Structure 1
Amino acid sequence: MASEPTGPRAIALLGTGLLGAAIGQRLLQRGHRLSVWNRTPERCAPLLAAGAELAATPATAIAAAEVVVTVLSDGPITAAVLLDQGGSALAGRSVVQIATIAPDESRQLDVAIRSLGGHYIEAPVLGSRPEALAGNLQLMAGGPAASVERLWPLLQDLAGTPVRLGEVGSAMAAKLALNQLIASLTHAFSLSLHLVQHAGVEVEAFMALLRGSALYAPTFDKKLERELAGDYANPNFPTAHLRKDLLLFLAAARGAGLAVEGLEGLAALLERATPAGLDGLDYCALHALTAGRPAAAAPA
């Protein structure tokens, strides 16, 4: 998608969690002026040390910016921060909403922000902190072509080759579809790994067969060492977020009339992560749940 080159922009970043902080670092590296806000201000410290300015409220951050980037935890919190706390400050601003939320939630945000005189696009991403720092996220944009085009250089700072998938809601649907695969592939591999180990099969012999087949997915090797060691600390994507996204997928799929019974058991299994103390750990902690024994939390 072609667009006119632009220089550094004044950006408000709302949400500085694992992904948000890395996106903030990338924006600073690309020369943008950054005003940051987080419900826990202490989590902004690394960005402040890198040159960002701390805003006391979302409205203050928005007022100092031309573009607002949100990386908050879910749809209701994103709506509360943007609409209830940002409100009229959004007039004339472009909002780039990155968090994974329901397609309907995204469409509702679009309507509300346009009614306030702002512009809205959704821009969910595949990838986590390392990819964000390197500008190698896989970014899916949803929104009016003109709005996406105006923001194209900024999107390229985060992802070298962003893709516009259609109007608002389209990118969120695609992101939920991809995250459903994260959950399903992790679950399927974990069960297979447990079974072959239970049968006394050498793991590397099993992996050699798997790697040589059409069944192989690179994520299996990416998580194998963690699963064998039971080490789920230092997550790039925590289990609680995986569960949240799977539940969003199930709701959207039901709304589309799809048969989702096969996934409902996985969602129920992920509900056990909370009492097991796994919510804040890497999502491959699902492996502790598929073991079929009471899961103990790994060291944080």
Structure 2
Amino acid sequence: MGAPKIAFIGLGAMGGGMAARLLDSGAHVTVYNRTRAKGAELAEQGAVLADTPAEAAAGADVVFLSLATSEVVETLLFGADGVVETLPRGAVVADMSTVAPDFAVRLKDRLAGTGHRGLDACVLGNAQHARDGELRFMIGGAAEDVETIRPVIAHLAKEIVHLGESGKGATAKLALNLLMGVEMQALAEAVVFGEKAGLDRGTLIRLIAASGYSAPVMKFKAGVMARRAFENPDFRLKLMRKDLGLVLAETSRLGVPMPATAASHDWLTNAKNQGLGEHDCASIIAILEQASGLDYPWPGDVKS
């Protein structure tokens, strides 16, 4: 069997890194992004740059989606010039987007109606992990469909976990992302509290980063806060807010109280409303600085 034919839809920081990694593995990769320029570097590396999702999916064995919202997923799959117009019957659609679990289930069922197989193939990691093949996959869907894509995602992953039926991968991704959302709020509060009480910010951040409380993500984001490097986001604030909103909707349905998550979502909403949505989620500290009377430049130097 020759190299698998892969379509990759969505070339943000994560999607672009994964597509590049797949190209390095020898796969035949066709890419599509609504902002076409994002595919130019991948085209130089050997990817075929498609003009539409339908063009990207023609003849593909597997389609990967790495998109911001469920609405975009639906549009690029089922809208005009969408993936399902040309994707061969029996091919697998692996949605890596962070979506609601019930959406993942409906998507699988809708794909089955068009003769395709669907997985919620969520990933944990950052853009560098994607490029280096160090992602963790959390997958919901049929076991045989997971095995179909395993040889492909093995090039992207250091761990592949099949969690069960459709929706379970999406659930796991939300559970893990809520930890990051609450952690960013707690980190910002600790830094602002300490500084307001008279501690040197740099010293405090170094203490936090070196402490037993600091997971790798906290250590990394502490550095982002220290440098105020908010304008080249690893994880955009508006997407963090979106994910916590999905958590709150799902936990409300399940009757699970989420007081810390709800508070973090409120502060993220405040931050988004003040123009920080496109900045890194670590920019949540700017809202707390403002509320506490600390005088720091507003991210981007323009307060909206």
TM-score (norm 1): 0.91
Letter paired with 2:23: L
SS for the counterpart of 1:150 is: helix
Counterpart residue number, 2:288: 290
User: Quick one: structure 1 residues 208 and 23, their matched pair in 2 at CA, closer, same or farther if it must change by over 3 Å?
Assistant: same
CA distance in 1, matches of 2:53, 2:170: 24
Tell me, in whole angstroms, the C-alpha distance in 2 between the residues paired with 1:210 and 1:44: 36
Query: Following TM superposition, where does structure 1 have runs of at least 4 consecutive aligned residues deviating by more than 6 angstroms?
Result: none
Deviation at 1:227, TM superposition (A): 1.3
8 Å Cα contact 1:142-1:164 kept in structure 2: yes
In the other structure, the counterpart of 1:79 is 74
Aligned to 2:119: 121
Given the alignment, which residue of 216, 238, 241 partners 1:240? 238
Unpaired runs of 5+ in structure 2? none
Equivalent position SS for 1:123: strand
Query: CA distance change for structure 1 residues 245 and 271 in 2, over 3 Å: closer, same or farther?
Result: same
Distance 1:47 1:212 in 2: 40
Q: Does 1:192 align with 2:194?
A: no
SS across alignment from 1:157: coil
Distance 1:73 1:121 in 2: 17
Q: What are the superposed Cα offsets for residues 120-178 of structure 1, whole Å, 9 maximum, x if unpaired?
A: 11111111210000000111111111110111111211102211111111111010010
Contact 2:59 2:86 in 1 (8 A): no
The 1:299/1:225 distance shift into structure 2, 3 A limit, reads farther
- What secondary structure does 1:165 align onto? strand
The separation in 2 between residues aligned to 1:125 and 1:158, in whole angstroms, is 10
The number of equivalent residue pairs is: 294
Decide whether aligned partners of structure 1 residues 299 and 30 sit closer, same or farther in structure 2, where only a CA change above 3 A counts.
farther
Q: How does 1:1-20 map to 2 (within 5 A)?
A: 8-20=3-15
Q: 1:134 is matched with which residue?
A: 132
Match of 1:58 in 2: 53
Which is worse superposed, 103-112 or 85-94?
85-94
Query: Are the counterparts in 2 of residues 97 and 124 from structure 1 also a CA contact under 8 Å?
Result: yes
Give percent identity, aligned residues only: 31
Displacement of 1:44: 1.0
Letter aligned with residue 84 of structure 2 = G
Q: Give, in whole Å, the separation in 1 of the partners of 2:273 and 2:206.
A: 32
**RMSD, aligned CA:** 2.1
Do 1:276 and 1:296's aligned partners in 2 also have CA atoms closer than 8 Å? no
CA distance in 1, matches of 2:74, 2:116: 14
Can you list the C-alpha shifts for 1:175-203, whole angstroms capped at 9, x where unaligned?
00100000001101110111111111345
Deviates more, 1:97-106 or 1:35-44: 35-44
From 157, 161, 174, give the equivalent of 1:159: 157
